[in-house]
Amino acid sequence: MVSKEARELSITLPRIVARARDIIDQDPHLSFVGYDVSIAPLVDEVTRSVGTVVSAVSRSLLDTAVATVETFFKGMLTLVITFYLLMGAERFKWWVGHHTPQPYRDELSPIVKEIDRILGRFLRGEVVLIVIMTIATWATLSALGIRYALILGLIAGILELIPFVGTWMAAIPAVVVAVATPSPHGWSPLVSAGIVGLAYFILRHAEDYFVIPFVMGRAVHIHALVAMFSVLSGAVLGGVLGMFLGVPTAAALRIIIGYIYGKLTEPMPAPDQDKMLLEAAVPVSEMENTG
C-alpha cells in the first residue's frame, strides 16, 4: 500500500503542483465564517514558489526522488547510530572507568549511568513520538478524505526527528495535495487546504501540550527554551543530525554541570573524629610504654 501510494504520488506530483498554482491564480480569496479574506498579496510569492517546484520536478524528478530518499535514510541512520551507541554503552562505560583514576571512579559511575539512562529514554521517546504522529496524521487525513494519507502520515512521523519545525514541514505537502485534489466532502480547494492546515495546527499543539510532556518530559527534564536553543545550536553545528542530538546533549550537560555545581557548593567535610582521638591517644600510649 505504501509503495502504491508512493508511485502514484511521484507520477501525479507535477500535475498536483501545477493545479494548485492555477487554483490560487483563479480565486485568491478565502471565505470563512461569513468573511471574505483576500490572499492576493500572497499569490505572486506562492506562484513563484510553486513554479520553482514544478520546474525542479520537471527538470529532474530523479534528483527529487534521490533527495527524498536521502532525507529518509538520514533520519533512519540517526536512529541506527543512536541505537548502536546505546548498545555499546556498557563497553564505553567500561573504557571510561578503566581510564579514570581510582579515586574518582566511584563518583564518575553514577554520572555515566544517569547519562546512559537519559539517552535510552530519549531514544524510546522518539520512537513513540514517530508512531503516535504517523497514526494520528494518517487517521486525520483519511477522515478528511485527503489522498495519499498514509504517505503523508509517514512523512509527518519521520519529520518528528526534527524537533519543533518537523510538523510544519510535513504540513506543506499535505496542504498542496489538499489544494490540487478534489475533496469528497465537496469543499473548495482553498477551504480544503485551510482545514488541512488547521488539522496540522491542532496536531502540533496536541503534541506540544499532551504527547511531548508525557513522553519526553519525563525523559530529559530540561526547560522548553533550553531544548529549543539546543536544537538551533545543533542545527548550526551538525545539520539534521545535530538537531536530533541537541536535546539529549543538553540533558547530558545538565547532569554534568549539576554534578560540578554540587561539588563546588558542598560544605567542607568535617574532621575525622576517630583520627583525632587516635592522635590524642598516641602520647598517652608512649608515656605508658616509657613508664
Angle between helices 2-26 and 166-180 (to 10 degrees): 70
Instruction: Using the predicted structure, report yes or no on whether residue 264 has a pLDDT greater than 90.
Output: no
- Reply yes or no on whether the pLDDT at 20 is more than 80: no
- CA dihedral defined by 258, 259, 262, 266, rounded to 10 degrees? 180
In terms of Cα–Cα distance, which of 205, 236, 173, 227 is closest to 5?
173
Could you give the count of Cα atoms lying within 13 Å of 183 in the half-sphere of its Cβ? 20
Cell 529514554 belongs to: 121
Q: Which region among 54-68, 113-127, 179-193 has the lowest average model confidence (pLDDT)? A: 54-68
What SS3 state is found at 37? Answer: strand
Q: Answer whether residue 33 shows pLDDT above 60.
A: no
The one-letter amino acid code at 50 reads: V
pLDDT of residue 114 exceeding 80: yes
Cα-Cα end-to-end distance for the chain? 100
pLDDT of residue 2: 54
Q: What is the DSSP letter of 4?
A: H
Give the C-alpha separation, 284 to 112, whole Å. Answer: 48
Taking only the tens place, the pLDDT of each residue in 142-182 is 999 998 898 899 989 988 877 777 888 889 889 988 888 88
- The reported pLDDT for the residue numbered 276 is 54
Cell of 228: 529549543
Query: Could you state, in order of their start, the residue ranges of all structural domains in the chain?
Result: 69-266
Identity of the residue numbered 73: F
Q: What is the mean pLDDT of the chain?
A: 72
Distances (CA, A) of 134 to 105, 138, 252: 44, 6, 28
Report the pLDDT averaged over residues 52-67. Answer: 48
Q: Is the pLDDT of residue 284 over 90?
A: no
Biggest CA pair distance of the chain? 117
With a pLDDT cut of 90, the percent of the chain lying above it is 11
| Residue of higher predicted confidence among 281 and 195 | 195
Averaged pLDDT, 251-280: 71
Q: Is the pLDDT of residue 116 over 60?
A: yes
Percent of the chain with pLDDT over 70: 55
pLDDT-wise least confident of 8-22, 70-84, 142-156: 70-84
- Measured at the CA of 50, the angle between CA 48 and CA 55, to 5 degrees, comes to 95
Identify the CA nearest to 185 among candidates 151, 219, 141, 216.
141
Instruction: Summarize the confidence of residues 283-291 as an average pLDDT.
Output: 49
pLDDT of 59 above 70:
no
Residue 38 backbone class (left: φ over 0; alpha: ψ -120 to 50; beta: rest): beta
**Which of 121 and 283 is assigned the larger pLDDT?**
121
Contacts of 89 (CB under 8 A, 6+ apart): 116, 119, 120
Query: Residue 219: is its pLDDT beyond 50?
Result: yes
